[in-house]
Amino acid sequence: MATSTETVKISHPIPQEVSRVTETLRKAGFEAYLVGGCVRDILQEINPKDWDITTNAKPEEIQALFEETFYENDYGTVGIVTETEDETLKVIEVTPYRTEGAYTDKRRPDSVSFHAKLEDDLKRRDFTINAIAYDESKGHLTDLFDGLKDIKDKVLRTVGNAQERFDEDALRILRAVRLATDLSFTIETETQNAVIEKAPTLKHISMERIRDEFSKMIMTKNPMVGVIMCQKLGLLKYIAPEIENGIGVEQNGDHIYTVWEHNLRALQHSADREWPLHVRLAALFHDVSKPETRRWSNEKNNWTFYGHDVVGGRVSRKTLERLKYSKKIVDVVSMLVRYHLFFSDIEKITLSAVRRIVRNVGPENVWDLMKVRACDRIGMGRPKEAPYRLRKYESMIEEAMRAPVSVGMLKIDGQKIMEVTRETPGPKLGFILHALLEEVLDDTERNSEEFLVKRTLELAKLPIEELKKLGEEGKEKKDEAEEAELSVIRKRHGVK
């Protein structure tokens, strides 16, 4: 194999604590190099997300040199806990050089050996741009696969034969698209052909690993390009096939884009605004169920999409659960999709309606719902919200948040209700509280002890069934409407 060592000047700063680790290893007589994504990034003046070090020291030898360490995985990676300049703790990963045995299951080597040279370690890495080692003490790059040239040409290319490398670990197929998206690189032709050909082998990869790469792609500056690339190269159907249903699905007058393009443009806006993962996912999924709810209306002489919010909430939940996202992400994204229409219907936005939406989505999520609305608008090709209207919505939300949105915020409690009605503890108390909350949601002025005591005395006389209905009215109305919408949709598809 050709050896290529160049002396280079890297001006990008390397954190002290990272240099300290490589220095400690070298002083103990070992080799130590920065390697992988961090070298790729500093060569482009990008701030690395993490710093990886590779060494000829064995895991036990690494551990012996540092105070606080732990084993990270089966590959001998040792995590070293260090303190950064701003005195926060940070983990630096040190991985011994290794070679890998055959990959019979397309995702993990059958064996890992630590009796290797730097050259072997670089050879097992996925892409040329990720296979450059940097010796800071000498200012030397070890670049056996022309990674530096590929960085300059902005090309992503596998180390060695692309088909074989993807057969070893199919996740590399998705990493290719994720890295190309992140760096705005093109994928070299042979590598790209192998991506297309080997796409179906993604089936063998765990959803957790797919999810992590997918999330990283969504969190880049260009997620729209990334998702389009995944679709064109045949990967998206192994990640989120539901999104593909929107391809070519035309919409009505307000919408100049197909459902697919609209979802993507909404996603891109969330990235342009640097919003967090859950908002980005909600933007991508917000209209996911328009294709299956689309109906032609003769009356309107147009397409309608009734229930796409309700169905979309369920579909996105299922999709994200399949991708093994955390319960927190699944809950919040599906909820944002479920309620995404709220802020788009201007007539609906009254103060009491805003109070109810705050109750439904929770005060902690209502601002994210506004963000999804912004993505929806921009994704339609509409101009940004006029500043006046935006301020108006914001002030309504703030006002609505001051109102009680749960029984706990009422100016009366179970104790007081028992006192004035002489009721004993039981379900009736809860029904009264919920009935009172419904009234207060209509008009917050009613949240005074005087009014609530008066109403309690009236309510307590009602038969329990009626009381229960009053309390659950808001919630029930919502559920009924959802069920009605769903049954229409199910009927049309001939399913129950």
Q: Which residue is nearest to Mg ion (CB)?
A: 37
Q: Hey, what are 427's tokens?
A: 């379900």
Write the CA distances from 252 to 303, 380, 407, 430, 486, integer angstroms: 6, 11, 42, 45, 21
Residue 353, phi then psi, degrees to nearest 5: -65, -40
Using CB under 6 A as the binding rule, whether residue 126 contacts ligand ATP is answered as yes
* The dihedral formed by the CA atoms of 63, 65, 68 and 71, expressed in degrees to the nearest 10: -20
Q: Hey, what are 380's tokens?
A: 């339609």
**Mask 301-320, x = binds ligand ATP (CB under 6 A)?**
--------------------
Nearer to ligand ATP, 92 or 354 (CB): 92
Nearer to Mg ion, 126 or 368 (CB): 126
Burial class of residue 384 in the structure, from the number of CB atoms within 10 Å of its CB (0-12 exposed, 13-18 middle, 19+ buried): exposed
Nearer to ligand ATP, 5 or 44 (CB): 44
Which region among 126-134, 136-144, 257-265, 449-457 touches ligand ATP (by CB under 6 A)? 126-134
Burial class of residue 326 in the structure, from the number of CB atoms within 10 Å of its CB (0-12 exposed, 13-18 middle, 19+ buried): exposed
Q: Hey, what are 92's tokens?
A: 């630096």
Three-state secondary-structure class, residue 235? coil
Least spacing, CB of residue 185 vs ligand ATP, in Å: 12
Which region among 48-56, 221-229, 350-358, 464-472 touches ligand ATP (by CB under 6 A)? 48-56
Q: Segment 193-232, which members bind ligand ATP (CB under 6 A)?
A: 216
- List the single partner that 236 binds among Mg ion, ligand ATP, none, CB under 5 to 8 Å by kind: none
Using CB under 6 A as the binding rule, whether residue 96 contacts ligand ATP is answered as no
Which region among 13-21, 124-132, 239-247, 317-325 touches ligand ATP (by CB under 6 A)? 124-132
DSSP tag of 323: T
Which region among 125-133, 308-316, 361-369, 466-474 touches ligand ATP (by CB under 6 A)? 125-133
Nearest to 127 by CA among 77, 92, 178: 178
Least spacing, CB of residue 159 vs ligand ATP, in Å: 8
Nearer to ligand ATP, 157 or 172 (CB): 172
Q: Distance between CA 259 and CA 245 in Å, rounded?
A: 9
**Mask 153-192, x = binds ligand ATP (CB under 6 A)?**
----------------x-xx--x-----------------
Q: In what order do the strands lie in the sheet with 78-83?
A: 5-7, 140-142, 133-135, 32-35, 52-55, 89-96, 78-83, 69-71
By the criterion CB under 6 A, which residues form the site for ligand ATP? Answer: 36-37, 49-50, 52, 125-126, 130-131, 169, 171-172, 175, 216
